[in-house]
Amino acid sequence: MFKDALTIIRERKSVRGYTGEPVSKEDIDKLLRAAMAAPAAMHMPPWRFIVVTDKARLKALTDGLPFAKMLVEAGTGIVVCAVPQEAAMGSEDFAILGCACASENILLAAEALGLGAVWTAVFPRQELMDFVRNELNIPGDIIPLNIIPVGHSAGEEKTQDKYDEKNIHWEKW
């Protein structure tokens, strides 16, 4: 069923339970294209993406990432990596901001494709960044921001309505 963009944004949810059915190459390609459509400061894309589908490698990642245990069942993990030297002004902050935008695009594209996904944290925890760099041969000047498990949802999660008027100011704080 076709869903418009605002419905997809509203319905996106973190998915932590998966059926184990693999994600197709075609869908992974769509997710990566969505990621690279994200905005980036001064039009300088600051990202790389590592797609992990090997079960043993996914399992090895979960051994050091306590909040990403769902990676194996999801079957695909996309590691979003920030490249400060390619970002606007060589800025680590701009690199991370651009990669956060790319990550959200992946989460939204997954929802649009009827897949489940969730941001699992790596940055800013130094020990997690070191662990992921070591597992995936990521150079020391590259920042692994997160790992996004992607898979077919087991259907357990519901969208939360987080709209709250108290967060809104008009004209001035």
Ligand X SMILES: Cc1cc2nc3c(=O)[nH]c(=O)nc-3n(C[C@H](O)[C@H](O)[C@H](O)COP(=O)(O)O)c2cc1C
CA torsion angle for 41, 95, 92, 125 (degrees, to 10)?
150
x/- contact string, 76-115, with ligand X (CB under 6 A)? ----------------------------------------
Q: Which of 82, 118, 138, 142 binds ligand X (CB under 6 A)?
A: 118
Q: Which of 40, 120, 133, 138 binds ligand X (CB under 6 A)?
A: 120
119 binds ligand X (CB under 6 A): yes
In whole angstroms, the minimum distance from the beta carbon of 109 to ligand X comes to 15
Report the alpha-carbon distance of residue 125 to residue 173 in Å, rounded.
32
Report the alpha-carbon distance of residue 119 to residue 117 in Å, rounded.
7
| Residues 33-52 close enough to bind ligand X by CB under 6 A | none
| Residues 154-173 close enough to bind ligand X by CB under 6 A | 160
Q: Output the six-digit token pair for 173.
A: 């704080």
Size of the site for ligand X (CB under 6 A): 9
Buried b (16+ CB within 10 A) or exposed e, 74-113: bbbbbbbbbbbebbbeebbebbbbbbbbbbbbbbbbbbbb
Residue 82 DSSP symbol: E
13 binds ligand X (CB under 6 A): yes
Residues that bind ligand X (CB under 6 A): 13-14, 16, 67, 118-121, 160
